[in-house]
Amino acid sequence: MHDIEPYYNWRDYYIASEDKLSPFYQRQYSEFHFTDRIYNHYIHPQWDNFGSSTLYCKVLYANYEQQIAVIEFMGEWNDAVHNDIMELKRSLIDPMISAGITKYVLIGENVLNFHASDELYYEEWYEDIKDEGGWILALNFRQHVVNEMQQGKIHYYFNTGEHYNNVLWRKVKPQDMSEFAESLLLRSLG
């Protein structure tokens, strides 16, 4: 797990630690000291800790004019034991909403499991952004994770499902991500 890095090809466009509106502003990273881990496995030091002991993230891109953020995740999304959604909502999403972000692309290729609890924080997140035309799109989550999210009724708040898996999002320039994501959303409605 320590070899899995967050996607880094967009660093010429955005770096969260250099964004004054980011919750990770001025965060220092090491390439050599591995401190965070998921259970007994150290993870790459470029992942950001937002308060969960099993789920880490990296804000790959935020554009306040387009009101969009792209966030990659790594680990186990565990609401049942660790209340990861509460930590995510309070530590990362609430500050982003305050800064004007209403559209979220969540990249889940490295999310290994999902354990649901209640839907309150998902509903709150959705309610916070829906009047601004906002949405939450879950891309490339593993099929068993999508199934677990649907069993937990998260799909009422996240746009998730088979049609959002195997999406080649890395071929899109970050400044085109909002238009790309909205085209995916429209295509799935048709």
Confidence (pLDDT) at 190: 59
Confidence (pLDDT) at 106: 98
Burial 30-65 (b: 16+ CB within 10 A, else e): eeeeeebebeeeebbbbbbbbebbbbbbbbbbbbee
Percent with pLDDT over 90 in the chain = 85
CA separation for the pair 87, 83 (Å, rounded):
7
Confidence (pLDDT) at 2: 72
Provide the residue type at 160 as one letter.
T
Domains, in order of start, for the chain: 16-189 (3.30.750.24)
The pTM of this model reads: 0.96
Confidence (pLDDT) at 35: 85
Contacts of 104 (CB under 8 A, 6+ apart): 68, 69, 70, 71, 93, 96, 129, 134, 135, 136, 137
Confidence (pLDDT) at 146: 95
Provide the residue type at 43 as one letter.
I
CA separation for the pair 38, 44 (Å, rounded):
11
Confidence (pLDDT) at 1: 63
Over the stretch 136-178, which tens digit does the pLDDT of each residue have? 999 999 999 999 999 999 999 999 988 899 999 999 999 999 9
For the chain, which ranges sit under pLDDT 50?
none
